[in-house]
Structure formats: C-alpha cells, structure tokens
Amino acid sequence: MNETIFTTVCPGCSIACGMYVREKDDGTIDIDWRKDAVVNAGKLCRFGVRLSANLKNATSRVDGNEVEFSDAVTAAGKAIGDGATFISVGNTTCAEHLALMKLAESKSAIVNTGMGAFSSIPSECHPTMGVGVPLDAIENAKKIVLFIDPYEQYPLLVRRILAAKKNGATVTAVGWKAVSLADDNKTIDPANYESDLDLDSDSVIIAELNPSTDPARVMVLLNLAKASGAAIMFMKPFVNAVGCDIASKKTEQKSLDQIIAEINHGTIKTLVCLDSDLIEIMPDETAVREALGKLDNLIVITSRASAITDVAKIVIATEPFYKKAGTVVNAEGRALHNSGESTDGIDAIGAMMGQPVGMYDEIHATLLATLGIDEVDERVIPTYEKPEYGAMDANPTAEAVETALVYAGGPFFWNGIVDDNDFVEMNLDMVTANSLLKGIPAKITSDKGEAAVKYKVSDVAPGVVLSNVKLPMTTGMVTSVTVSR
C-alpha cells in the first residue's frame, strides 16, 4: 500500500495554484492542499477542490478505435505533413509546447496559441499583455479596478483583493455583475474609462485576455493603463498561457476564429491540437464541431478525455498533467515546476519527428535560457516593469443589442465541465419585464436556437443575461437573445 505524492499546480487557470495530487497504487487520485505553495498558500477554488472528480484520463485512439500509444503516434506521424496547422493554448507544460514548436518548424509551420490579439496589437505592448503584476503587489495597491468577476473567473484573486482592502485600497468593478467586494460597481462606456476611473501609478487594473477577447478591448485597457500610469494584469484562462506565449516568441498568431474560418474555407486540412479542446474553448460549439468535421486529419495530443477526443481522427493520450515532467509559467511570470517525471507527450512529439527519446532535458535547458533563469524556483518572480508603449486608436465595436447573453468564463467553463453553476443570472427588472416565474426556467432564444435555463436574480447590468455555462444557442462570447417565460 503505497501512495505517490505529486507536487503540482492546478490546471484551472493562469494563477497556477500549488497543490498535491495523491495517486494510489490503483491509479485513483485525490488532491491535497499544499500549504507552502507561494502563489496560493495551498488554498484552492472549487475547480481545484473538485479536480479529482473531473479529471478523466484520455485513451489513445485511431478512427475511434482504442489503440496502443505507439500506434497512435505512428499514425499521427504519417498524417502530419507540410501545411498542417498546430494549436496549443497553454493547457500543458512549456516543454510539450516547445517540442510541438520543433515539430511545427519541421513542417514549416508555427504553433498557434489562439491569442489572436497579440497579432493585431503592436509588439511593444506584448510584454504588458504577457506577464502581469505579482499577486503580492495587488495587496499593496491603493486602487484596484476589476474588469473581471474575481469570484467566478479567478477566485484565488479574492483573498489578494481582500488583503489590499485591509491595507486601505479602494476597489472598483466595471463588469457585467456587481461584485460584492467592490466599493463601487460601475457600468462605463469604454470611451469614458480614462475620464471616469480615477487611476494613478499606485493603481492596479485586473482584466482578462482569452482567445475570444476583442483586440480593440485590449487596446482600450492598455491605453487606460498608459494614460493613468497604472499597472495592468491580464489574467488568462489556461494554466500555462503565459509560458506558451513566452515560448512562442510572439510569432504571427492566428486567432481561433481565423483558424476555424480557414478550415471552413478548405485551406486547413490537418489540425494538430496539443491539450487544446476547441469545442470546449470556443463559444459556438456547433460551428466548431461542424468545422472540425471538415478536416481530413484532426490529431489530438492530450492528457485528458474531453469533447474533442470523441471526434478526433487520432488521439494520442499522454500522461495526466500532474505527472508530466515540466514547467509552467503563471500570470505573474513565476516559473513553477511539476515534481512528476513522465515525458509521454514530449516523447510522442519527438517520435513523430524521428527524434530519439530524451528530448526533455534539451528542451528544459532551452526554456531556462529563454526565461533567463538557472533553475525553476517558485519563490523567484521576474521584477515587474511597466514598459513604454504608444497610445493606440481603439474603437471596440459594441453592437447595440437589446438583450445580450454574455459568458463570463471561469475554470469550469473553459474546461467544459458543468457543476452547480448551471444557471444564468439577470437582474430583477429583466425578470419582471419578461414576466418570468420563480422556479420555472427562462426560455432564452437566439437566431441559432433556444434553450430553457434556470435563472437567478442578481445585480446584473441592464440588458445582460450572464451565464457561467455554455449554452447551445450562442454564437460568441456575447450573443443577442430574447428572454421569455
């Protein structure tokens, strides 16, 4: 009777909370709280606490049939030729991402991280969009502006903001829903951010950057930071988004929407996804499934079973995240190391390239060099700098819709897992205006379809239906809908 304890991080979001995974002889796992972890003092959000129930290991498959790992690798090796497109959003280690970059290079391609915003925003802004403010610094800010809902989206930020408040900070939230820890909840037109938000160099702005974020919106926030002198932190929904971004060296990136469009157009025939389930990540699942169905080869290299593994032509099942030898870089730019030693993912990619097993050490050395460190030490964090960049012309196109269904994605959302947050939220006016009944689901209709969904009355902005769960009738992160009984 023995247990192996893995020191790892939660794969839920870019905070990368330290945790333990305890694996028994029979392979069953449970999580434990790693109190010495510097990022989170061991504390976890709902997602981390329930990780063992939600983590399902992948199985290697070819054309739907279960096969040996090596057979899947061979099949993939044959299928991936020049012209293949590669995606890795940051759900796996830097090592695997770097390995995929080598494979892509050998096929005259790059690895897309899906953050198309980087490509449409000047490169001088990229460092600011990449590595963010140290979490300790948030506690020392005098003013904090939230463009996210910390309770839902990045819950381990809550305690940092609460600590900041204890230190005298004032918190303003600009979002879809009133946030209870904010002193002030506002709805502001982006054109008025600079004038309405009284920020200065002791302020911290916390926003989000995900594959569906409108670049114009990012530019507005960057302008706000520049004009006020405030520090800005872009949280990302994937544990190693920052690491993969750094590794990718910001090569010209396509957005996921572009990739889907090219698949539909017939320009992309082979797609290789590394721990990137586009069906889970993108808001319009139907459109994505349709597009993926048009590919000649959908090859998925993944550590967990998810929606995409059911439709892929080839699935290469790698070890669960907690077992991987490798490093992730969190939102603060902090490099965090897994205690695991398994290299299935890297070896698979290596095999596809005809490389000998053992590529890990070489890649790890490259990573350390790129990060400018000698070893991975969780207590070491890059000094936060505010690089200069020019103000940009930004006009976020906000269509005037009467009622908008908005996704405020949290870790469960991005990982396609539904828990008891399977309801939408709207304010009382919308409920009364549409004569909804208590306890009876509301009918939400868009051009694409409709669904009956449980709803909750919350302090949500007018005209907004906020959802933490992906609904079938959506076309984007914001969808025009009508609400009825």
Partner 1 sequence: MDIGDCYVGWATDEDIRTRGASGGLVTAMLAAALEKGLVEAVVVLKKLGEFEAVPVVTSDPEEVKAAAGSMHSVPIVLSRYLEYGTKVALPAKPCDARSTIEQAKRGQVDIDTTYIVGLNCGGTMHPAMTRKMLDVMYKLDPEDIEGEEIDKGKLIFETKDGEEHAIKIDELEEEGYGRRESCQYCFTNIPVMADLACGNWGVIGDLAGKGTFVEINTEKGIEILQNAIDSGAVEVTEADEKGKAIRAKVDGAMMKVAAAANEKYLAPIEGSHLDYYMNALKDCINCGACKTVCPVCACGEGAKCTEFSSAADTYKMSLFHLVRFVHLMDSCIGCGQCTDVCPADISLTHIYQRFARPMQDEFEYKPGMDMTTPPFFGVDLLEEGH
Which spans of this chain sit near partner 1 (rule: CB under 8 A)? Answer: 1-3, 5, 7, 20, 22, 30, 32-36, 38, 40-46, 48-50, 151, 155-156, 158-159, 162-163, 180-181, 420-421, 423, 454, 456-458
Least distance from partner 1 to the Cβ atom of residue 420, Å: 5
Report yes or no: 113 and 88 within 8 Å, Cβ to Cβ.
yes
Least distance from partner 1 to the Cβ atom of residue 319, Å: 21
Question: Which DSSP string do the residues of 358-407 spell out, in sequence order?
Answer: -HHHHHHHHHHHHHT-SS--TT--PPP-----------------SSEEEE
Instruction: Work out the angle at residue 46's Cα, subtended by the Cα atoms of residues 41 and 48, and round it to the nearest 5 degrees.
Output: 60
> Whose Cβ is closer to partner 1: residue 198's or residue 422's?
422
Q: What distance, in Å, lies between the first and last C-alpha atoms of the chain?
A: 56
Q: Among candidates 308, 243, 318, which has minimal Cα distance to 279?
A: 308
Q: Whole-angstrom Cα distance, residue 108 to residue 80? A: 12
449-453 and 203-208: which strand pairing? unpaired
> Whose Cβ is closer to partner 1: residue 49's or residue 353's?
49
> Whose Cβ is closer to partner 1: residue 208's or residue 425's?
425
> Whose Cβ is closer to partner 1: residue 165's or residue 250's?
165
Least distance from partner 1 to the Cβ atom of residue 378, Å: 10
> How many CB atoms are located within 10 Å of the residue 243 CB?
31
> Whose Cβ is closer to partner 1: residue 36's or residue 393's?
36
Least distance from partner 1 to the Cβ atom of residue 2, Å: 6
Least distance from partner 1 to the Cβ atom of residue 5, Å: 6
Report yes or no: 121 and 392 within 8 Å, Cβ to Cβ.
yes
Least distance from partner 1 to the Cβ atom of residue 422, Å: 8
Element spanning 467, H or E: strand 464-467
The pair of three-digit structure tokens given for residue 283, joined into one six-digit string: 């808001």
> Whose Cβ is closer to partner 1: residue 162's or residue 261's?
162
> Whose Cβ is closer to partner 1: residue 1's or residue 437's?
1
Q: Whole-angstrom Cα distance, residue 313 to residue 271? A: 10
Least distance from partner 1 to the Cβ atom of residue 376, Å: 14
> Whose Cβ is closer to partner 1: residue 309's or residue 330's?
330
Residue 266: which residues within 8 A CB-CB, separation 6 or more?
294
Give the total residue count for the chain.
485
Beta bridge partners of 85: 271
Least distance from partner 1 to the Cβ atom of residue 418, Å: 12
